[in-house]
Chains A and B, each alone.
Chain A
Amino acid sequence: MALTLMEGNEAIAWGARAAGCRFFAGYPITPATTIYNAMLRLLPPEGGICMQGEDEIASIGFCLGASMAGWKTMTATSGPGISLYSEQISFAIGSEIPLVIVDVQRLGPSTGSATKGADGDIQFLQWGNSGGLPVIVLAPVDIRDCIVLTMQAFNLAETYRCPVFLAANKEISMTRETVDLDAIALPDIINRRQADPVQQFLPFGTSGERLTPDFLPIGGNRAVRQTSSTHGPDGYITADPELIARNQDRLQRKITSQADRFVFSEYDAAAGAETLIITYGVTARAAKTAAEALRDTGTPVSLLVLKTLWPVPEDLLREKAAAYSRVVVVEMNLGQYVREIQRVLSDRDIRFLGQMDGELIKPRQIEEVVHHG
């Protein structure tokens, strides 16, 4: 066994490369900058492109153009950049442009604290687009996740032709850690489905049970249309309410109806446990440490770590929580994802531990809530 010392952001970059990413554009921002640095080392020598936009809007714009030209693309930023990405994110959702967006979260609101961690963007990532359509958000816990979930993010972006977020955190992205790379099972790579070059091509057309349109690149040997305007299957503006409704419904269902296919999580059940801790991201690490300490001192607790945050894995939550009288939700904000848990597990006794001071939630705080909360 050989151990490799890596930072989370480096692992995200290597994961992107392993997934087939050939185009990266970003604007430097702590704590996401080292992804850009790593992509600049990785891509250009291999014929890929890494660009620094004049701002975040340009960076994601480059990615949208390159993605429609057929390349796998990624961008990375933090809260202030996600804010600037917003209208381009809405575009990518509505016009079905595959893209991986890494949000290395830092303490907000606003410019907040560049070098302090938080999970304060968890609702923003889902709802920070105009139109309110569903998105996919994955949340890594450690270096292994930074590699594997980044690859999964690409696979999902390609499969469903949509933006996929990786909700990282300064405390994962800028923390170095040893990892046994050989022990990681990498997922198979998925590429977007190309349209039959002989058949008539409708840029947003779907047939049969399929809800995601097949793809042809801009710059290929058949003229292709892309548009941010409300469009029909042919990619031209439409005002037909029936066509509009059908498309909106498809955009919603192509994600929600398939959501059970990409539920990533870790469940660690303890015999005799009455409490289930539900958490995600870097806080899962404190929760693991707390669960071990609690078990060692005679209080068994179970732990559910969510790695797919959006769409909310409702079936998983219901199934795993069924055996417990009490649920403790822990997250690095003042109570964002707990709302979803309360909604899904409305008949449970749910306790909440949140914190937003730039510090990690400590295992002892979690133990305290399990004992007395």
Chain B
Amino acid sequence: MDSLLNQDRPPVFCPGCAHERVVAALDQTFQGMGLRGEQIAIVSDIGCSGLFDTFFNTHAFHGLHGRALTYATGIKMARPDLHVVVTMGDGGLGIGGAHLLSTCRRNIDLTLLVLNNFNYGMTGGQCSSTTPQNAQVGSGFLNRLEKPMDVCRVAGAAGAAYTARASAYEKDLSDTLATAIRYDGFALVDIWGVCPGRYTKRNKLSPKTIATTLEGLPPTDHFRKENTREEYGRAYRHEAADLPPAPPPQGIETLHPPVTETRQEVVFLGSAGQRIVTAGELLCLAGASAGLQASQKNDYPITVLRGHSVSEVILSKKAIGYTGIQQPSVVIALAAEGVTRRKKMLANLTEDALVIRAEGIAIPSCRATVVTVDFKAAGIREPDWALAALATLANRNTALSSAMLQTALDIRFSGKVYDLATAVVGKASA
């Protein structure tokens, strides 16, 4: 196979830079694997390692610092057959730490080459996430305060199966890279080299010391055993193949006459866990079954099983503009948390309004007709009060009819839940 090096754009690294050796080794790897340029995408980010994509006649994606793994993931998911090689420096490693950890956890078939030269070359030799504490770098004393990280051990702990350390100067570097590219999953090679433009101006580092230091580092082979599993993209496609297609949105035919021609504004005042939002949805479905336009606007805090839950439903023959409540026709008061949120609204209710109040829930005095229901005495559990209140309304033929409520239940529920809901409506109507 021919070299994939871009003859028009030879490497522009400082004389003696280790990166240039990696460029040559990577080209040998591609040739040895018999790959054509269009079978490979080189994804790079910022810094000297970010120049890699320009030296090869392959697909290339050069993006923002530390984010190369994010683009590579999108490319690989969309093009599973492509060999995606990511180059990052020790700078990109630090800035994109979260992406590194997640890529290890995913085990997506990308090959990450970390061009580790222990400092930020382009910006003046500042410390990076791999700078030794005793090094002299462009960040004054700051690197003395931060422990450098061992990329391979971090990656292994995060779930990477294939991690390897290499020196840019070792003879069989292209074989190491080929093994990494062939690996069916995420593969990371931490490639150590010198940065003559910055780092080795003030620090002693040679191919020999690199080799000696690498030999002394703890092994990472055991990660292979611990973390080997199915490649992410293939696992994703396996899972997805078994999923049923999403049912299309359901249209509701007009089956019933509405109980009134007047616009209805119904407010549920409850607390989390009372299934307020579901009751509001049922009322909308009931309205739609009578050919009415419906809207449901909910108000609840960020907490899940605590706090207020308020649902505002409008049923109208005409198109609904403003979705807020202007003049409630019905208020369903089921919990103090909800009532507290709408005290002013309750106090301003007109004589035409109806309040369904759960026994024991205090409300401000108002002009509306107040009907108190003892749901508990009727054997209805608190999470079902909102549904029971709808049944109470349907019995009075206010806002909805029993037939409308029944259709809503038919649409919304099935199986056991349907039976339970029907039982609640039965109890509330008894």
Contacts and interface: CB of A to CB of B under 8 A. Distances in A.
Nearest to B50: A229
Nearest to A220: B38
B210 interface: no
30 contacts: A3-B251, A5-B252, A5-B288, A45-B244, A51-B77, A53-B102, A54-B99, A57-B99, A58-B102, A62-B74, A65-B71, A65-B72, A65-B73, A66-B75, A68-B71, A69-B78, A115-B299, A115-B302, A176-B281, A176-B295, A177-B296, A178-B295, A218-B75, A222-B38, A227-B62, A282-B323, A285-B321, A286-B321, A288-B321, A288-B322
Interface string A289-313: 1101000000000000000000000
Interface in A134-183: 171, 174-178, 181-182
State the main secondary structure of chain B at its contact with A: mixed
Given A115-B300, A181-B249, A226 B62 contact: yes
Contact of A177 (B61, B81, B251, B320): B320
B74 A66 contact: yes
Contact of A88 (B67, B82, B102, B243): B67
Interface string B35-51: 00110010100000000
A48 to B, nearest CB: 8
B301 interface: yes
A217 B61 CA distance: 11
Contact of A64 (B41, B63, B245): B63
Given A65-B78, A66-B75, A175 B323 contact: yes
A334 B320 CA distance: 26
Given A3-B288, A65-B76, 5 more contacts: A53-B102, A64-B71, A225-B61, A226-B61, A228-B63
A70 B301 CA distance: 40
A281 B71 CA distance: 33
Contact of B53 (A4, A65, A222, A225): A225
A70 B246 CA distance: 24
Among A1, A227, A364: residue with most chain B CB under 10 A: A227
A11 B99 CA distance: 31
Contacts of A223: 37-38, 57-60
A178 to B, nearest CB: 5
A4 B321 CA distance: 17
Contacts of B53: 225, 227
B284 A176 contact: yes
B249 A88 contact: no
Interface residues of B, number: 70
Contacts of B338: none
A317 to B, nearest CB: 23
A47 interface: yes
Nearest to A363: B322
A41 B248 CA distance: 11
B199 to A, nearest CB: 24
Interface string A205-219: 000000000000111
A110 interface: no
Contacts of B9: 236
Given A285-B321, A289-B321, A181 B60 contact: no
Q: Can you list the 10 inter-chain pairs with the closest CB atoms, starting with the nearest?
A: A61-B70, A65-B74, A2-B251, A219-B79, A69-B78, A44-B240, A65-B71, A289-B321, A66-B74, A62-B74
Given A53-B70, A58-B70, A360 B251 contact: no
B73 A61 contact: yes
Nearest to B37: A223
A5 B298 contact: no
B64 A5 contact: no
B101 interface: yes
A143 B72 CA distance: 35
A178 B258 CA distance: 15
A347 interface: no
Interface of B: 9, 37-38, 41, 43, 53-54, 57-64, 67, 69-79, 81-82, 98-99, 101-102, 236, 239-240, 243-246, 249-254, 280-281, 284-285, 287-288, 291-302, 320-324, 326
Contact of B77 (A42, A62, A70, A224): A62
A6 interface: yes
A32 to B, nearest CB: 14
B75 A68 contact: yes
Contact of B99 (A45, A58, A285, A363): A58
A23 interface: yes
A362 B284 CA distance: 22
Contact of A68 (B61, B246, B250, B294): B61
Contact of B236 (A14, A46, A49): A49
A61 B63 contact: yes
A204 interface: no
Contacts of A54: 98-99, 101-102
A219 B291 CA distance: 51
A347 B280 CA distance: 47
B190 to A, nearest CB: 21
Nearest to A11: B249
B79 to A, nearest CB: 3
A3 B252 contact: yes
Contacts of A222: 38
A25 B59 contact: no
A81 to B, nearest CB: 14
Given A286-B322, A289-B321, A224 B295 contact: no
A91 interface: yes
Interface string A17-53: 0000001010000100000001001101111010101
Contacts of B37: 223
A315 interface: no
Contacts of A224: 59-60
B322 A5 contact: no
B314 to A, nearest CB: 9
